[in-house]
Amino acid sequence: MTTTDVQVRKLMEEYQKQGQVGMAALRAGMHRNTASKYLQARKLPSTMREPRHWRTRPDPFAEDWAEMAVRLADAPELEAKALFDDLLERKPDRYHEGQLRTFQRRVQQWRAQEGPPKDVFFGQEHRPGEAMQTDFTSANELGITIAGEPFDHLLCHSVLPYSNWEWVTPCFSESLLALHRGVQGAVFRLGRRPQFHQTDNSTAATHNLASGKRGEAASGKRGFNADYEGLMRHLGMEPRTIGVGCKEQNGDVEALGGALKRRLEQHLLLRGSRDFESIEAYESWIGEVVEQANGLRSERLTEELAVMRPLAKRRLPEHRELSVRVTSNGTIRVLNNTYSVPSRLKGERVAVRISEMAPYSVVVLPDPVGPVTRTIP
């Protein structure tokens, strides 16, 4: 395997920290002998290799490459493997499967020299304490079960891009209640708040409108939901969203979402079981895994906390409340579903509290004996 400049930079960084060749080599992903060579040379691999201007072997695709170039020009989205499989099927006497990698390199060279232009993304500058990004990601691939039953769910993932500090809460949907719970869980865990909170254009935070508010239509952004704006006002953060179809603007939380699930998968393998006795136990376990990762980010997090403002208000309730009347059949209608309640409540109005991760709870209003609460499965 070819040693890269990135690996050698990592090697030198780790060696300066610890002074141990073996440990530095391990963390840089290379053999100890290779590490010793680069530490002695104090040079990057790219500066030690002399450029080669000749081919070491004949081009096996020279006879058919003109045809391949025409097909790529007509359909640039064609993948190298699909093109090679077609060539192999038509000319099995000339080509074999072991030449796939060579063909892929040939296509890669063509794309670099003659292919269509690629989208260019400029790195974003992150300043301490400036923003928090939040995104939802499916966690079904983890195969979690609760008391033996499959647990289909999402993760509400909040990240500080400067330090990569993160917080995670499980949820069932990309709803405003889930966003309520996830964002508050993150900022109250920190005890402080950044200036901005950034999301994509999901309906949890924005209306499904073509134009944004106050002339933002030209930027391709949408207006915010009134309830979401209220949450941001309460927490003291300014809402900020990305352009429609511009996921790269939320790139930090998108990238860390994949890293988060890989980390959870590794800890599940170490745990030896994917079953948890309750949702609360599962959420507590996630918190432990995330806090362990956050411990490695303490230096930059300290910089962020130093410039963030403290939270000035209490946590908002993380549920919706509906007022419904009990029918003559002793039932109530909640979110297009019918549920039964004690028959003595016929004709009474009850308040239904709906949260993201718990069943509905029904509180009788009024009641001369005191509130009566019942959980609806």
* pTM of the predicted model over 0.75: no
Residue with tokens 């209220």: 230
**Whole domain around residue 27: which residue ranges?**
5-48
* Of 261, 230, 298, the residue nearest 154 (C-alpha): 261
Q: What total number of domains does the chain contain?
A: 4
Could you count the other beta carbons within 10 Å of the beta carbon of residue 196?
15
Query: Any alpha helices (H) in the chain, and if so which ranges?
Result: 5-18, 21-28, 32-41, 45-48, 65-74, 80-90, 100-114, 176-190, 226-235, 251-271, 279-294, 298-307
Q: Is residue 54 part of a domain?
A: no
Structural contact between residues 308 and 129, judged by C-beta atoms closer than 8 angstroms: yes
Residues 324 and 301 in one domain: no
The answer on 199 and 72 residing in a single domain is no
What is the spatial distance between Cα 147 and Cα 182, in angstroms, rounded to a whole number?
24
Q: What is the pLDDT of residue 149?
A: 93
Q: Considering the domain boundaries, does residue 120 fall inside one? A: no
Q: Which residues of the chain register pLDDT less than 70? A: 1, 50-56, 118-124, 201-223, 242-252, 316-321, 335-336, 353-377
Same domain, 18 and 83: no
Q: Are 150 and 210 within one domain?
A: yes
Using N-to-C axis directions, what is the helix angle for 32-41 and 21-28, rounded to 10°? 100
In terms of domains, do 137 and 254 share one? Answer: yes
CA 298 to each of CA 124, 164, 252: distance values in angstroms, whole numbers, following the listed order: 22, 10, 18
Residue with tokens 């004709």: 347
pLDDT at 332: 80
- Judgement on whether residues 271 and 326 belong to the same structural domain of the protein: no
The rounded mean pLDDT for the chain is 80
Q: What is the pLDDT of residue 124?
A: 60
Domain co-membership, 231 together with 254: yes
Contact 72, 110 (CB under 8 A): yes
Q: Are residues 11 and 97 in the same domain?
A: no
Query: Tens digit of pLDDT for each residue in 167-196?
Result: 999 988 888 788 888 899 999 999 999 999
Position 317 scores a pLDDT of 66
Give me the pLDDT at residue 104, please.
93
Q: String of b and e for 287-324 (b: at least 16 CB within 10 Å)? A: eebbeebbeebeebbeebbeebeebeeeeeebbbeeeb
